[in-house]
Amino acid sequence: MTADMNRQWRVARYPKPEELIGKAHFEWTSEPIAKPADGQFLVRTICLAPVPAQRGYLEKSHHSFLENLAIGEVMRGRGVGQIIASRHPDYPEGSIFVGSLGWQDYSLQHPRGAEFVFSTKKIKNPLRPLSMELGILGQAGATAYFGLLETGQMKAGDNVLISGAAGGVGSAAGQIARIKGAKQVVGITGADEKCRWLGDELGYDATINYKTENVGERIAELFPDGIDVFFDNVGGDILNAALGNLAMHARIAICGFIATDYSPGPHHGPINYQCMVYKRARMEGFVVFDYWDRYAEAEQDLLNWHNEGLLKNTEDEDEGLENMPAALASLFTGGNIGVKILRVSPDPDVLPQEKFK
Amino acid sequence: MTADMNRQWRVARYPKPEELIGKAHFEWTSEPIAKPADGQFLVRTICLAPVPAQRGYLEKSHHSFLENLAIGEVMRGRGVGQIIASRHPDYPEGSIFVGSLGWQDYSLQHPRGAEFVFSTKKIKNPLRPLSMELGILGQAGATAYFGLLETGQMKAGDNVLISGAAGGVGSAAGQIARIKGAKQVVGITGADEKCRWLGDELGYDATINYKTENVGERIAELFPDGIDVFFDNVGGDILNAALGNLAMHARIAICGFIATDYSPGPHHGPINYQCMVYKRARMEGFVVFDYWDRYAEAEQDLLNWHNEGLLKNTEDEDEGLENMPAALASLFTGGNIGVKILRVSPDPDVLPQEKFK
């Protein structure tokens, strides 16, 4: 299972605006496994999580929150791994580690903070599966947590709508809204199977299948008093429909806009932003990286909720580093239920804390 | 000058979405002047201020912040007048009064609070011209004040952009931004004459004529570090251009969207709302009515600034109640510089406080 060479996906070309990202934009290469210098350690990748924002690393655009990757660079991406060689006293061999491992089998690392996507962390008491550190206990969970509770200022009694509800972030957001006492949590997704899962497994009060239902009419039916908080992963017509059905002083947390990320343009913005005046509503963009200082707060809550059985972890796992471009593409075609995870190597048989039991 | 009958503009029909509002939507009627009952007083209208929101009173729409007017009702509108007969001890004859007088020569009034548009006020020490109570010391000034400083959270050192900059609200907003220590105040308007006035008279640092210049390019040139606060009266392409040039943590205060209020559709929203994620920006709609409780605060600041010569009053006055529909229409065709005022009768020769000097 462990390769003797370090296999890597490197950036080959940038996608055109309307193009679905995939294998054609990456080059599959390999090189010898590097050795850690003083202060470094070598991590073997266990799993990676593709996220929609990764497409943005391959866009030449004035709209970006991270530096674009150059052609030939190893693709950036967060992952969980195990330290297999170390020249850093605080990061001993055997430790479980989360950080920007890149799309590769092995990476040299050193401790980093500052920005979520680059930040590194040694996990003291990792839970199985380790991939949860990329999902509900990691970036997906924290994005949902801060977007819903900080940007969206969701309070008990609120009527909450979530788009992209069956994705990694959306499925966490809906559960957190339930935990925090929402009056009603409604999820929008694109398949009846996903709608059933949201209702039966995650406790959503109602769902809308945007492929088969009239989203605007259904929102109006389900929210006779209007939407208090809309957590939007999607944009496009769904955002517009939501803006037409706001409650007074509504909050719209803009997490992403996957609806327009590669579909043919021209794309238009939501004309119903005008309703924000009538409803004195607020729309705000956020990026989870900004909350790195407060990550411990989210982590503790997410972990407690998970341990209490209130926050379920659902993963949609693909296997094999060679399938990473396809795993990323699947996010844009609605392929996943829950957090998309790509397994690169198995979870270790014995975790560090189990050694000393 | 004073009519023996009460002349009135009543609602005759609702404008179609793309139709410019005007005389055709109102009926010119007259009736005997009413007599105050106990607790009431009779006000003679001195002047009225048409505002773009008045068009909305004639729209059957789920988007509204005030009840629509029925066909046949006297058109709603704020004005300044003098009390000429009174059966209310606190509102003696001769007092200067601001309230929802309607588009008519005379109205029966009683004290009202709660909402700005309906609220009434006896002016203790009215300044000349009395129309200032509708302009920089009244609704226009307060809209600029709360929109810029509360919704927009403008702080000293901010780069500020204002659309509809030569209008009643816009011209007040620009001056307030200067008073509050903006690093730069840029105004967008539709005529070179207005641009010159904004620069020469009101102290705007730069202006953009949206009819002759490329707004997006000019904004990018003038805001190399991005816009911190955008006070938007206009919407449409101008809003989209501004959203493409935001600074980190920018605030967009949505006051109105006159660009799409009667122009042929379909209208699209601003696709650059997506930049609000990259810039962690916030867009918020507001209505000045909501700040009625805090009006005294704005009033005191506005009055002080005016007395210190920092906040200039500029009015664009039309004369004659019969011209009120045309005065309202002119707001949508960019006809005014400063606060649009319609004079119905002259300011009194002697003001109440002057009697006792």
User: Which pLDDT tens digit goes with each residue over B43-101?
Assistant: 999 999 999 889 888 876 655 667 789 999 999 999 999 999 999 999 999 999 999 99
Please tell me the predicted confidence (pLDDT) of residue B28. Answer: 97
Q: Which of B62, B270, B279 sits opposite A273 (nearest CB)?
A: B270
- CATH class of the domain defined by B143-289: alpha beta
Which among A107-116, B16-25, B108-117, B166-175 has the top mean pLDDT? B166-175
pLDDT at residue number B124: 83
A163 vs chain B: nearest CA distance in angstroms?
16
pLDDT score, position A202: 95
Share of chain B above pLDDT 90, in %: 77
Return the closest-CA partner of residue B291 out of B261, B331, B255: B255
Share of chain A above pLDDT 70, in %: 94
pLDDT digits (tens, 9 = 90+) for A177-197: 999 999 999 999 999 999 999
pLDDT digits (tens, 9 = 90+) for A55-75: 888 876 655 667 789 999 999
Q: How far apart are CA B276 and CA A252, in angstroms?
A: 12
Provide CATH 3.40.50.720 ranges for chain B.
Answer: 143-289
For B5-135+313-355, which CATH class? alpha beta
d(CA B102, CA A48): 66
For the record, the structure tokens of A31 come out as 């090189």
**pLDDT tens digits, one per residue of B159-190:** 999 999 999 999 999 999 999 999 999 999 99
**Angle (CA) B49 B53 B56, round 5°:** 130
Q: What pTM did the predictor assign?
A: 0.93
Q: Average the pLDDT over A38-54 and give the result.
A: 94
Q: Which residues on chain B are in Cβ contact (under 8 Å) with A64?
A: 278
The answer to whether the CB atoms of B274 and A240 lie below 8 A apart is: no
* Mean model confidence pLDDT for chain A: 92
Q: Helix or strand or coil: residue A343? A: strand
Q: Burial-class residue B6 by CB neighbours within 10 Å (0-12, 13-18, 19+).
A: buried
Average predicted confidence (pLDDT) for chain B: 92
- The pLDDT score that the predictor gives to residue B1 is 44
| Closest CB from A244, A277, A287 relative to B280 | A287
CATH number of A139-289: 3.40.50.720
CB-nearest partner of B65 from A65, A271, A278? A278
Mutation site, B223, B232, B245, B273, interface A, largest A CB count within 10 A: B273
Helix axes A236-243, A215-222, angle to 10 degrees: 40
Q: pLDDT by residue (tens digit) across B267-298?
A: 889 999 999 999 999 999 999 888 888 988 99
Q: Where in chain B is the domain with CATH 3.90.180.10?
A: 5-135+313-355
pLDDT reported for residue B290: 87
> B342: part of which helix (H) or strand (E)?
strand B339-343
State whether B273 and A290 contact (CB < 8 Å): no
Q: What is the pLDDT of residue B3?
A: 58
User: How far is A300 from A303, CA to CA, in rounded Å?
Assistant: 5
Q: Is the pLDDT of residue B123 over 60?
A: yes
Instruction: Quote the Cα angle for A168-A80-A300, to 5°.
Output: 65
* CA neighbours closer than 13 Å in the CB half-sphere of residue B118: 10
Inform me whether the pLDDT recorded for B158 exceeds 50: yes
- When CB atoms are compared, the residue of B269, B274, B280 closest to A63 is B274
pLDDT in tens, A73-96: 999 999 999 999 999 999 999 999
Phi (first) and psi of residue A261, to 5 degrees: -75, -30
Where are the CATH 3.40.50.720 domain residues in chain A?
A: 139-289
Closest alpha carbon to B29 in B59, B69, B68, B73: B73
Which residues of chain A are within 8 Å of residue B273 when distances are taken between CB atoms? 254, 269-270, 273, 283
- Contact (CB<8Å) A283/B278: no
pLDDT at A114 over 70: no
User: Which residue in B140, B149, B170 sits closest to B229, CA to CA?
Assistant: B149
Q: How many CB atoms lie within 10 A of CB B249?
A: 15
pLDDT score recorded for residue B120: 79
Q: Name every chain A residue with its beta carbon within 8 A of the beta carbon of B260.
A: 271, 274
pLDDT tens digits for range B190-238: 999 999 999 999 999 999 999 999 999 999 999 999 999 999 999 999 9
Nearest Cβ partner for B276 among A254, A267, A274: A254
In chain A, residues with a C-beta closer than 8 Å to the C-beta of B267 are 271
Best A246, A277, A280 residue to mutate vs chain B (most B CBs within 10 Å): A277
Q: What is the three-class DSSP state of B107?
A: strand
Smallest CA–CA distance, residue B50 to chain A, in Å, is: 19
How big is the CA angle at B248 (ends B243 and B250), to the nearest 5 degrees?
55
Q: What is the pLDDT of residue B266?
A: 79
